[in-house]
Amino acid sequence: MTHPKHAQADHDVVDLIRERWSPRAFDPDRSVPVDDLWQLFEAARWAPSSCNEQPWRFVVAHRDQSPHAYDALLSTLKPSKQAWAQTAPVMVLTAVKLILELTGDANRHAYYDTGQAVAFLTLQAQSQGLAIRQMEGFDHSAAREACQVPEGFEPAVVMVIGYPGSPGVLKNKNTGRPSRPRAAGGPRRTSCSPGHGIGNSHRDQTSERIRSRICRVPRMGRFDR
């Protein structure tokens, strides 16, 4: 059966991409086991990044495991978003490291790389039956304080994560929105020219060594690297 939010793709794409969408309604009674959550951040960890800097950091607030952190992060969202965001059992602040570890210079690719990591994480979530909505609609300085984000890092988005729920759980004017066909507000056409792509960066031994040395995992208020 086709879900109204599944993309009507012009060209064949894998189901993980076609079926992903960003709900506002989550199942409020279904938590996310911590081990399942780890899989998402493991996926993010394997995203490519310029100089293998992996400039992304995640502060994870789980409603059951860390309710104070969850409430603190929730309170940084715009009030209209808090109403539906709190149906999700997990809230994550994504932050970006702006300075290159290697040289101390500005990392011009930090946001680009972090977006790729979140894309990996999002598709991993989709493969596990989980859904994610990212948000820029939050108070950056309040989030910085709530999550103890130090200088040199910048909050980028807040993500809510959970199992998709029925729009009926929403009590405000957003109720009808998840049922709109995805194409209405969906992805814009991407222009591309096959044959002019840039090749994949290879994973050399150095990057493998760095990966095993620096385990970039979700941190709760730790930005020491």
Ligand X SMILES: Cc1cc2nc3c(=O)[nH]c(=O)nc-3n(C[C@H](O)[C@H](O)[C@H](O)COP(=O)(O)O)c2cc1C
The footprint of ligand X (CB under 6 A) covers 21-22, 133-137, 157, 182, 185-186
Using DSSP, state whether 158 is helix, strand or coil: strand
Minimum gap (Å) between residue 135 Cβ and ligand X: 4
**How far is residue 154 CA from its own chain's centroid?**
15
Comparing CB distances to ligand X, the nearer of 133 and 144 is 133
Comparing CB distances to ligand X, the nearer of 190 and 205 is 190
Strands (E), 76-210: 90-97, 131-135, 153-162
Tokens coding 117:
């990591």
Q: At what angle do helices 110-127 and 34-45 cross, to 10 degrees?
A: 140
Comparing CB distances to ligand X, the nearer of 155 and 218 is 155
| CB neighbourhood size of 178 (10 A) | 20
**How far is residue 160 CA from its own chain's centroid?**
8
CB-based contacts of 71, cutoff 8 Å, min separation 6: none
Minimum gap (Å) between residue 97 Cβ and ligand X: 17
Minimum gap (Å) between residue 133 Cβ and ligand X: 6
Minimum gap (Å) between residue 212 Cβ and ligand X: 30
Comparing CB distances to ligand X, the nearer of 22 and 128 is 22
In eight-state DSSP terms, residue 33 is -
Minimum gap (Å) between residue 202 Cβ and ligand X: 28
Tokens coding 98:
């702006």
Comparing CB distances to ligand X, the nearer of 44 and 157 is 157
